[in-house]
Amino acid sequence: MKIGGFQKLTLLDFPGYVACTVFTAGCNFRCPFCHNASLVTGVPYEDYKPENIYEFLETRKKKIDGVCITGGEPLLNKELPEFIKTIKDMGYLVKLDTNGSFPDRLKKLTDKGLIDYVAMDIKNSEKKYPLTAGIPWLDFDSIEESVKVLRESGTAHEFRTTVVKELHNTEDFISIGEKFGGDEKYFLQQFVDSGDTIEKGFSSCENGDMKRFLAVLKKYFPNAAIRGE
């Protein structure tokens, strides 16, 4: 496991639960607006061992409910199932954040009941996915398959899009809705410049634009909302 960050307490990353957050290092995407660029691009990061996480969790039983595993892209790690199983065996809930590019690995986790909640990014419309993910050769079929895996798994999940002024418009959310529309939770979340992005020059949308995008998306995802409202 390549673990490049660890937050001991979060009330936000695992909705409804008190949790800690594990940040895995490495990602197969290069989203230019990524706010965890140092975990993605190989810039030296603090190196945690799984044992460090287990030791911490042993001291927090009955104080926190779960563990959010985010990245980077956690599913790059072949050791992830064993890592999650150890955490589950300790009595914790597990939430996984993923970009949806590894449907087979995702399915293995859901089939084994190792995941309690999944948050999957839908970066943009199919046409603009390569641009938004920073991968010209991106296989969009894997994104579609991951959506299918989650819907057939029975695992609680949400979809989400980080909205960037320079990358998203109304037509994109019409396209997303027509392609994936369903009853799940779907969150639009504002891009926030962390100062650690892969590329510069990206900005947040106006609140009016966010509400307009939401109104469009809700025609296809009735449970869509703007995160934080």
- Is the pLDDT reported for residue 72 higher than 70? yes
pLDDT in tens, 117-174: 999 999 999 999 999 999 999 999 999 999 999 999 999 999 999 999 999 999 999 9
Q: Hey, where are the domains in the chain?
A: 3-163
Whether the pLDDT of residue 44 is over 70: the answer is no
Instruction: Please give the helix or strand (H or E) that residue 187 lies within, else none.
Output: strand 185-190
Dihedral sign (CA 134, 158, 14, 226): positive
Which CATH number applies to 3-163?
3.20.20.70
pTM strictly above 0.75:
yes
In the prediction, which pLDDT does 38 show?
85
